[in-house]
């Protein structure tokens, strides 16, 4: 790396430090107003106000989604997108800073995946990059995308389908994690599909022969899908949740029942095939019970594509910045959290990065995982996958919680406002901003990233996994 490149990064890191307190406060405010899938009205208002305060050109209601926002700054040159999120999860409310389950009063929602941090750090990186572009006069534009409903709502997929990311050259994002690393581009394509069965009610004792149970159909479908699990690829996943069990009266044959399935496969085309098999099971259950079934897709996301040139560039910035450091108080609270976990939780975390848990391991990660790892894959799904098919994309993982903390847990919510999480927020903003500068100042890197992306998509171009007639399941603004 030449002196000019090092000076650019030192400069943008200073710009991150200058404003990190503002964005730490933003993260804490969003943590305190947890909102789920397409209801993030207060959270997007906070992000929109901050974008305007920092001088971005703001577009609201992106892709006709009221809780999506985009801020742009700079002139000419390539366009760098930095992606943020701010949605929470149901059932994960938790008082911050204590290592025992204690839900807050209210709706039971909580930031059990750290998206309060995700959005704030992404906007901090975008703001520092905006300020650096203005200072240096470098041609280029930065866009911060505030994206709702990552948790099951596939907002980025809908936004991509609507053209919200058209013209973007490179996308950069991150996710809270237990380790410092360039995120491995491994995820599953995922469809969320609803099955609503319609039968006929009747008196369950006096005239059971006249009823046709929709609940029976749901239960038979679940049994059929459980048998199907034996005959799908090993990396496929099928999960379900009851939406409507037909009521609470056992003496009434249930006339309506509904179940939602999450259907995951290694890539979009394999997912489409598995979707059809699950549909056939539902149709068979309807035949057996003489009911009917309505099938509808709620959302869907593609699998992630990697980009080796960008991943190598981000890894170099991790090495240049050095590991994140934590103090004794950070480690003490992380150790309290670890005391609530099982040995399997810790072993699983280390297996993911291909290491055994050291005897004297710190409860917080203070090292950088090498780019080449042979760890155990633990695959989920994300709507960043659709972005990675549209343009070269890279993600960072940065520690904001104790090693071993399960995702989507009260323990993760409890750590979302702690000083360790705040340190991770500022640290990853520096990683993302520096990687963005690399793409803006190194034309060879930009060309290599685009060439790698073109090679991956040449034979299998992007296909949006959401049918064109399906609209974002936007929720009304709360009163």
Taking the CA atoms of residue 353, residue 355, residue 361 and residue 364 in that order, the dihedral angle to the nearest 10 degrees is 0
Domain ranges in the chain are 3-186+304-459, 189-300
Give the confidence band of 134 by pLDDT, cuts at 50, 70, 90.
very high
* Within this chain, domains 3-186+304-459 and 189-300 share the same CATH topology: no
For residue 355, is pLDDT > 90? Answer: no
List pLDDT tens digits, range 299-344: 999 999 999 999 999 999 999 999 999 999 999 999 999 999 999 9
Q: If residue 42 lies in a helix (H) or strand (E), which one and from where to where? A: helix 41-53
Give the confidence band of 191 by pLDDT, cuts at 50, 70, 90.
very high
For the chain, state the CA radius of gyration. Answer: 23
Of 31-40, 130-139, 374-383, the range with the lowest mean pLDDT is: 374-383
**Long-range contact pairs involving 25-30 (C-beta distance under 8 Å, separation at least 24):** 26/50, 26/119, 26/120, 26/123, 27/116, 27/117, 27/119, 27/120, 27/121, 27/416, 27/417, 27/421, 27/422, 27/425, 28/116, 28/417, 30/86, 30/111, 30/115, 30/116, 30/119, 30/120
- Looking at residue 478, its pLDDT comes to 81
Q: Angle at the Cα of 35 (from 34 to 41), degrees rounded to 5?
A: 120
The mean per-residue pLDDT over the stretch 349-371 comes to 91
Topology of domain 189-300, CATH: Alpha-Beta Plaits (3.30.70)
* Spatial distance between the Cα atoms of 209 and 324, rounded to a whole number of angstroms: 67
Give the confidence band of 360 by pLDDT, cuts at 50, 70, 90.
confident
For residue 373, is pLDDT > 90? Answer: no
For residue 4, is pLDDT > 80? Answer: no
The mean per-residue pLDDT over the stretch 29-35 comes to 98
The mean per-residue pLDDT over the stretch 35-48 comes to 97
For residue 374, is pLDDT > 80? Answer: no
Identify whether the C-beta of residue 246 lies closer than 8 Å to the C-beta of residue 255: yes
Q: Quote the distance between the C-alpha of residue 120 and its chain's center.
A: 14
- Looking at residue 1, its pLDDT comes to 65
List pLDDT tens digits, range 59-99: 999 999 999 999 999 999 999 999 999 999 999 999 999 99
* Spatial distance between the Cα atoms of 312 and 394, rounded to a whole number of angstroms: 10
Identify whether the C-beta of residue 254 lies closer than 8 Å to the C-beta of residue 247: yes
pTM: 0.94
**pLDDT, the chain, mean:** 96
Question: In this structure, what token pair is assigned to residue 91?
Answer: 């059932």
* Spatial distance between the Cα atoms of 82 and 394, rounded to a whole number of angstroms: 10
Beta bridge partners of 84: 146
CATH of domain 3-186+304-459: 3.40.630.10
List pLDDT tens digits, range 88-131: 999 999 999 999 999 999 999 999 999 999 999 999 999 999 99
Q: Which residues of 17-32 are buried (b: 16+ CB within 10 A; e: fewer)?
A: eebbebbbebbbebbe
Residues in the chain: 479
């Amino acid at each position: 790396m030449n002196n000019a490149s090092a000076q650019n990064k030192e400069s943008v890191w200073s710009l991150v430090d200058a404003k990190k307190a503002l964005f730490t406060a933003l993260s804490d405010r969003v943590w305190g107003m947890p909102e789920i899938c397409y209801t993030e009205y207060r959270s997007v208002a906070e992000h929109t106000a901050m974008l305007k305060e920092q001088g971005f050109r703001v577009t609201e209601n992106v892709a006709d989604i009221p809780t999506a926002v985009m801020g742009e700054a700079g002139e000419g040159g390539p366009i760098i997108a930095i992606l943020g999120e701010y949605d929470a999860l149901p059932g994960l409310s938790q008082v911050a800073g204590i290592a025992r389950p204690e839900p807050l009063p209210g709706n039971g929602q909580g930031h059990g995946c750290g998206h309060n941090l995700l959005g704030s750090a992404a906007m901090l990186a975008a703001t520092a990059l905006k300020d650096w572009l203005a200072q240096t006069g470098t041609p280029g534009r930065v866009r911060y995308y505030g994206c709702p409903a990552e948790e099951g709502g596939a907002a980025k997929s809908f936004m991509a389908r609507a053209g919200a990311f058209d013209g973007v050259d490179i996308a950069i994002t991150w996710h809270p994690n237990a380790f410092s690393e360039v995120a491995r581009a491994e995820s599953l394509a995922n469809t969320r599909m609803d099955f609503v069965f319609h039968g006929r009610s009747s008196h369950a004792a006096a005239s059971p022969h006249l009823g046709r149970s929709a609940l029976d159909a749901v239960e038979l479908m679940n049994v059929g899908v459980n048998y199907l699990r034996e005959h799908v690829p090993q990396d496929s996943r099928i999960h379900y949740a009851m939406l409507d069990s037909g009521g609470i009266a056992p003496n009434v044959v249930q006339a309506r029942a509904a179940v939602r399935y999450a259907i995951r496969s290694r890539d979009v085309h394999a997912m489409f095939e598995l979707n059809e098999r699950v549909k056939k099971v539902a149709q068979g259950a309807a035949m057996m019970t003489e009911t009917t079934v309505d099938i509808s897709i709620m959302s869907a996301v593609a699998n992630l594509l990697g980009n080796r040139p960008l991943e190598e560039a981000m890894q170099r910035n991790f090495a240049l910045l050095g590991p994140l450091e934590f103090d004794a108080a950070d480690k003490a609270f992380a150790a309290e959290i670890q005391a609530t976990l099982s040995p399997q939780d810790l072993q699983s975390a280390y297996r993911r990065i291909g290491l055994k848990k050291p005897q004297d391991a710190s409860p917080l990660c203070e090292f950088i995982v090498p780019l080449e790892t042979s760890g155990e894959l633990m695959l989920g799904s994300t709507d960043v996958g659709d972005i990675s098919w549209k343009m070269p994309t890279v993600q960072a993982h940065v520690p904001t919680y104790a090693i071993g903390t399960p995702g989507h847990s009260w323990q993760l919510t409890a750590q979302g406002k702690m000083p360790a999480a705040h340190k991770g927020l500022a640290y990853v903003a520096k990683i993302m901003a520096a990687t963005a500068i690399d793409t803006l100042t190194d034309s060879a890197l930009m060309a290599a990233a685009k060439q790698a992306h073109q090679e991956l998509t040449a034979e299998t171009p992007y296909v949006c996994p959401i049918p064109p007639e399906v609209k974002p399941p936007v929720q009304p603004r709360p009163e």
